[in-house]
């Protein structure tokens, strides 16, 4: 499969937001984090995206692949590119996911759920924390 993996540009914002919206993922930070978004393009169609959110912590986020392109190693390729970039600035990358098995295969390990409150302020204040399905994970680079 001929997929182009590249940095997103301002002309990709609409496609990235559409892809994230498909999975009900947050689109509010796309413009702010645009320099750290990586996209996968097939025949002119954005089929996947991934972002490295660099702030107080470094977070792997906004990972989305169009359903018809899943299980074709596109997510793995995107994560490899993002983790290579992350290794230039940190030795730890955090993520919250509902698909921990995928990230374990990539080398991330599961952390204790209560650690989410220490890492993300919004988790500490969330009234749904006790029923949250997001698993906290970390890549040690």
pTM: 0.89
Q: Using alpha carbons only, give the angle 70, 74, 80 rounded to the nearest 5 degrees.
A: 140
- Sign of the alpha-carbon torsion through 8, 14, 15, 21: positive
In the chain, the number of structural domains is 1
Among 68-72, 124-128, 132-136, the range of highest mean pLDDT: 68-72
What would the pLDDT profile of 34-49 be if each residue is shown by its tens digit?
A: 999 999 999 999 999 9
pLDDT at 140 over 80: yes
Kindly tell me if the per-residue pLDDT of 109 is higher than 90: yes
Give the pLDDT score at 123: 83
CA angle 94, 135, 52 (to 5 degrees): 30
- Give the tokens for residue 81: 């590119």
Q: Please name which of 57, 58, 40 lies closest in space to residue 49, comparing C-alpha atoms.
A: 40
Q: Which is more confidently placed, 56 or 9?
A: 9
pLDDT at 117 over 80: no
pLDDT of residue 71: 94
pLDDT at 119: 82
3-state secondary structure the chain: CCCEEEECCHHHHHHHHHHHHHCCCCCCCHHHHHHHEEEEEECCEEEEEEEEEECCCEEEEEEEECHHHCCCCHHHHHHHHHHHHHCCCCCEEEEEECCHHHHHHCCCEECCCCHHHHHCHHHHHCCCHHHCCCEEEEEEC
Q: Which CATH number covers residue 19?
A: 3.40.630.30
Looking at residue 113, its pLDDT comes to 82
The yes-or-no verdict on residue 1 having pLDDT over 80 is: no
Band of pLDDT at residue 6, cut at 50, 70 and 90: very high
pLDDT value of position 118: 79
């Amino acid at each position: 499969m001929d997929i182009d993996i590249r940095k997103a540009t301002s002309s990709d914002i609409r496609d990235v937001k559409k892809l994230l919206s498909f999975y009900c993922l947050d689109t509010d930070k796309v413009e702010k984090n645009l320099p750290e978004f990586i996209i996968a393009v097939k025949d002119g169609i954005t089929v996947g995206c991934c972002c490295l959110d660099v702030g107080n912590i470094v977070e792997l986020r906004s990972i989305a692949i169009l359903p018809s392109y899943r299980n074709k190693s596109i997510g793995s390729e995107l994560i490899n590119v993002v983790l290579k970039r992350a290794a230039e600035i940190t030795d730890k990358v955090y993520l919250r996911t509902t698909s921990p098995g995928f990230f374990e295969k990539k080398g991330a390990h599961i952390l204790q759920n209560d650690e989410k409150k220490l890492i993300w302020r919004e988790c500490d204040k969330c009234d749904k924390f006790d029923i949250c399905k997001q698993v906290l994970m970390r890549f040690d680079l």
